[in-house]
Amino acid sequence: QEYGEYLANDGGEECYGALLNSNKKKWNDVVSCACSILYEKGVGLDYSLRMLPKNMICAERYYEAALLLVDEMFVKKRLEYMEQLEVGASLHVTDVEHLLSKLGSRDELLLRGDGESDEQDDDDDNKSNTRNDTTTKERFADGSKRVTLDAYDQVQRCIARQMKNIESLLSTDDSENKELHSNSGNSVALQSLSKMTEGGKAMHLMGASLGAHNHIIEEMSYYKE
């Protein structure tokens, strides 16, 4: 795991620059494939929830990375694993920004799942790719904008659910619940306030990201929330 993060984050650039550059895509491709299988089985989540989108992007598996970033269950698990909403949202924003930087204005890259080549010799492969392209076009009709909005929308929904739970907890008439203390000694009210603050910062992060890409209306709605 540590070695994987070391290579994915260009930690060995100085010592192994040429080797990394020539094999980075292949290495990330292998890792993303293996981690995807393990993630589906609920194994190795410690690595997958933090690094899988980045591995996919570095492997130029842009469509798969986009699907993962907008996946409700992945986002939910990621935020729960990171514990702090601001930290989880920051990681998600970083991955979305990474994907957008690779796509640039080339939204057509989202229409080529799994990084397949432009030429296919097999007729069956051609038919399969045609079906995949049709599905992809429907899923990300607005290109990178749709990926961004859907990815952040999933984070917003997770935050909204947590805020609703907090409101329910604080509005209870059970005074005993309000006076409960955690192992760290913080009251439920203080924990709730901290979580609400994290949620606000997370929303601000996503709003700033949207604004940077000229999605002004959406940016202001996130600030309002």
pLDDT at 222 over 70: yes
Percentage of the chain exceeding pLDDT 90:
50
Same domain, 30 and 72: no
Same domain, 13 and 118: no
Q: How confident is the model at residue 127 (pLDDT cuts 50, 70, 90)?
A: very low
Average pLDDT estimate for 95-120: 71
pLDDT recorded at residue 66: 94
Same domain, 85 and 129: yes
Q: Which of 8-17, 87-96, 127-136 has the lowest mean pLDDT?
A: 127-136
Q: Which domain holds residue 74?
A: 61-224
CB 48 within 8 A of CB 35: yes
Q: In total, how many domains does the chain have?
A: 2
Average pLDDT estimate for 131-155: 75
Same domain, 70 and 48: no
Which of 21, 36, 59 is the endpoint of a domain? Answer: 59
Same domain, 141 and 163: yes
Same domain, 119 and 215: yes
CB 51 within 8 A of CB 8: yes
**pLDDT tens for residues 12-30?**
556 666 666 678 888 899 9
pLDDT recorded at residue 8: 59
Same domain, 103 and 31: no
pLDDT recorded at residue 124: 45
Same domain, 105 and 186: yes
Over the chain, what is the mean pLDDT?
A: 79
